[in-house]
Amino acid sequence: MGILLTALLLTGCGGEEKKAADSAKVLRVGTEPVFAPFEFPKEGSKDLTGFDIELIEALGKQMGYKVEIVSMGFDALIPALNSGNIDVVAAGMSINEERQKAVTFSEPYYTSGLIVMVNKDNNEVKSIKDLEGKRIACQIGTTGENKSRTVEGAKVKAFNTQDEASLELKNGGADAVIGDAPVVEYYMTKAGKDFAKTVGERMEAEPYGIAVKKGSKLAGDLNKALAELKKSGEYDKLYTKWFGEKK
């Protein structure tokens, strides 16, 4: 009886439409949303925007998914992927060997690298070499934290967000921040304008990838969709919108 009723409802008037909406595939995307210009809240709203957000929305659309964004701590993203609570991670996540043991990455979609940020009036620290024995602020679970921990004798202060690490610098609780250059540079045009500057060169290149559960076929689908967005010019359009002309 139940089955019959359902069948009637599905084939009845307006049933087709309802069926299509119900079966729209949902792509659950995990991110840590305090990472402008990649993922951050739209002004005056809880909705997120940024390069990663618009890219994953475009990729999802291309793949026939409805994208649903789920925010959490950066160090919770890989566990959430592996427990099946999310399908992909789009969070400015650098592809590295350690993570590749736990997850599968898409092809790189952006090239980043770490940089050191200090207070404007700091004339002592000229590069990471000058940070030995100093207090370094960074975000928990990031490559910036890993790098900070390689500095001899440094006191590493790891915060939940990159913004909190930067605030610690501003408040004098740290001598430097180590973080992703595009994010640090964006910060210096906003909240960091009056107090912060970068020193030294960008460190080694860090490609960002979209992470999926190890071995998931989503990686191949994402790569195909990414290639299509590159071909159609949509990727370039997004890139220019967020970063200006490609250098």
Q: How far is the CB of 27 from ligand ARG (least distance, A)?
A: 18
Could you identify the residue written with the tokens 């860090």?
206
The piece of 3-11, 58-66, 138-146, 210-218 that touches ligand ARG (CB under 6 A) is 138-146
78: left (phi over 0), alpha (psi -120 to 50) or beta: alpha
Amino acid at 30: G
Nearer to ligand ARG, 139 or 166 (CB): 139
Closest CA to 35 of 165, 156, 211: 165
Which segments of the chain does DSSP mark as H helices, in order? 2-11, 15-23, 51-63, 77-82, 97-100, 143-148, 162-170, 181-189, 218-232, 234-243
Report the residue from 27, 29, 30, 32 that binds ligand ARG according to the rule CB under 6 A: 32
Nearer to ligand ARG, 16 or 238 (CB): 238
Count of residues interacting with ligand ARG (CB under 6 A): 16
Report the residue from 36, 48, 60, 94 that binds ligand ARG according to the rule CB under 6 A: 94
Q: ∠ at Cα 31 (28, 33), nearest 5°?
A: 135
Report the residue from 56, 91, 169, 196 that binds ligand ARG according to the rule CB under 6 A: 91
- Max intra-chain CA distance, the chain: 79
Answer yes or no whether residue 181 interacts with ligand ARG by CB under 6 A: no
Question: Applying CB under 6 A, which residues contact ligand ARG?
Answer: 31-32, 35, 39, 74, 91-94, 112, 139, 142-143, 162, 180, 206
